[in-house]
Amino acid sequence: MRSNSSSLTPKAPLALTIAAYAGLLFLHVPILIIFLYTLTPDETTYTFPLPGITFKWFGIALQRADLWRSVTLSLQVAAIATFAALILGSLAAAAVYRSNFFGRESISFLLVLPIALPGIVTGIALRTAIGGFDIPFSFWTIVIGHATFCVVVVYNNVLARFRRMQGSQIEASMDLGANSFQTFWYVVFPNIATALLAGGMLAFALSFDEVIVTTFTAGQQTTLPIWIFSQLSRPRDRPVTNVAAMIVMLITFLPIFLSQRLTASSSDTEGNSK
């Protein structure tokens, strides 16, 4: 079979190349603009070109306890939601991969719903249910909300890895004398480890900057995105918001980038072994 990725890559028409890179610029330039605006001395407007350059907002941001409380809260929520998603997502992936049961196709559908349906649906549904049962809105209601849409990320990653893994490996391991637990530990886990890591990091990033569902499931708690959102309508020290936005970008950028590299590179090596 001839693969598309052969060295015989055809040359693109110039107009297509320009359109493609214009699209890429459109995707990325706005984010850089935020970074630029962290340096503006202008407190009340978004004047461009910047009237000057200052680094004082980083210092002021450091002093803002409310900002750091929400960063901490977001980190905690993301960590716990990710942990739950890792367990639930990989269990579901294992079940779907290992057995053939009635309604297997619907599992993916059920898991993908929370991200396929508009976030506001998930948000208001959860809020109504939580409120209806008189459960107080808290840290844990935020986590519960986040877990619903994080599960599918882990599930997709792990299931894709399972499907690329030679199924006979599990049989081979048992055949050689390893029981189910040993087989999991020595064979299955090493095979899916990077997929777990990649899925987990994506789930973390997704949770860390989620705002729509969170506005519905949070009580008095202010996660970092909610903090930023409130700054959008009632700005106080606008440039501090720029710094906060930059923090979100940086904290989410690394795990997303790494997880992309992980899934890309592991598919390379698996391609070789075939």
Partner 1 sequence: MAQQTPPAIKFDKVSRHFGDVKAVDEADLEIRDGEFFSMLGPSGSGKTTCLRMIAGFDRPTAGQIFLYGQDVSNLPPYDRDVNTVFQDYALFPHMSVSENIAYGLMVKKVARPERMKKVDEMLELVQLSGFGGRKPSQLSGGQRQRVALARALINHPKVLLLDEPLGALDLKLRQQMQVELKAIQKRVGITFIFVTHDQEEALTMSDRIALFNQGKIEQIGTPAEIYEHPKSAFVAGFVGTSNLVRGEVARRITGMDVTFSIRPEKIHLGNIKEKAPTDSYSSDGTIRDVVYLGLYTRYHVELDGGGDLVVVEQNLKSTSMDVLKNKGQRTRLHWNKEHISKMGA
Partner 2 sequence: MLNKISTYLYLRPKLVLWLTLGPPLTYMIIVYLGSLFNLLINSFYYLEQFTGLIVREFTLGTYARTFEPANLEIFTRTTLMAIAVTVMDAIIAFPLAYYIARFTPPKLKTWLIIAVTLPLWSSYLVRVYAWKLILAKEGILSWFINLLGLQGALDWLLGIPAIGGSSLALSPLGMFIVFAYIWLPYMIIPIQTALERVPHSLVEASSDLGAKPLQTFRTVILPLAFPGVVAGSIFTFSLTLGDFIIPLSLGNSKFFIGQAVYSYQGTAGDIPLAAAMTMGPVVIMIIYLLIARKMGAFDAL
CB 131 → partner 2: shortest distance, Å?
A: 8
- To the nearest whole angstrom, how small is the minimum distance from the Cβ of residue 190 to partner 1? 5
DSSP for residue 147: H
Judged by CB under 8 A, does residue 176 bind partner 1? Answer: yes
Residue closest to 194 by CA, chosen among 158, 152, 149, 151: 158
In terms of CB distance, is 56 or 98 closer to partner 2?
Answer: 98
Question: Considering only 42-50, 125-133, 136-144, 162-170, which stretch makes contact with partner 1 by CB under 8 A?
Answer: 162-170
Q: Are 197 and 85 in contact (CB under 8 A)?
A: no
User: What does 232 interact with, of partner 2, partner 1, none (CB < 5 to 8 A by kind)?
Assistant: partner 2
Question: Residue 191 or residue 241: which is nearer to partner 2 going by CB?
Answer: 241
Distance between CA atoms of residues 147 and 86, nearest Å: 9
Residue where the block lists tokens 């610029």 = 25
Closer CB to partner 1, 121 or 178, in the complex: 178
* Binding-site partner at residue 55 among partner 2, partner 1, none, CB < 5 to 8 Å by type: none
Which lies closer to partner 2 via its Cβ, residue 68 or residue 97?
97
Q: Is 267 in the site for partner 1 (CB under 8 A)?
A: no
Question: Minimum distance between the CB of residue 99 and partner 1, rounded to whole angstroms?
Answer: 14
Place of tokens 């970008």: 249
Which alpha helices (DSSP H) does the chain contain, by range? 14-37, 56-63, 65-98, 104-116, 119-132, 139-164, 168-175, 180-183, 189-208, 212-217, 224-233, 238-273
Chosen from partner 1, partner 2, none, partner binding at 10 (C-beta under 5 to 8 Å by type): partner 2
Q: Is the torsion defined by CA of 98, 102, 108, 114 positive or negative?
A: negative
Closer residue to partner 1 in complex, CB, 91/174: 174
Question: Which 183-202 residues touch partner 1, going by CB under 8 A?
Answer: 186-187, 190-191
Which one, 176 or 264, has the nearer CB to partner 1?
Answer: 176
Helix, strand, coil shares of the chain, percent, nearest 5, are 75, 0, 25
By C-alpha distance, which of 158, 162, 153 is closest to 195?
A: 158
> Which residue is listed with tokens 């890591």?
197
Nearest to 157 by CA among 209, 253, 92, 205: 92
Of partner 2, partner 1, none, which one does residue 257 interact with (CB within 5 to 8 Å by kind)?
partner 2
Q: Does 182 bind partner 1 (CB under 8 A)?
A: yes
Between CA 148 and CA 128 the distance in angstroms is: 16
As measured in angstroms, the least distance from the Cβ of 187 to partner 1 is: 6
Please give the span between the terminal C-alpha atoms of the chain, in angstroms, as a whole number.
Answer: 13
Residue 196 binding: pick among partner 1, partner 2, none (C-beta 5-8 Å cut-off by kind): none
Which of partner 1, partner 2, none does residue 126 bind (CB under 5 to 8 Å by kind)?
partner 2
Give Dmax (Cα) for the chain: 72
Binding site for partner 1 (CB under 8 A): 166, 168-169, 171-179, 182, 186-187, 190-191, 269-270, 272-273
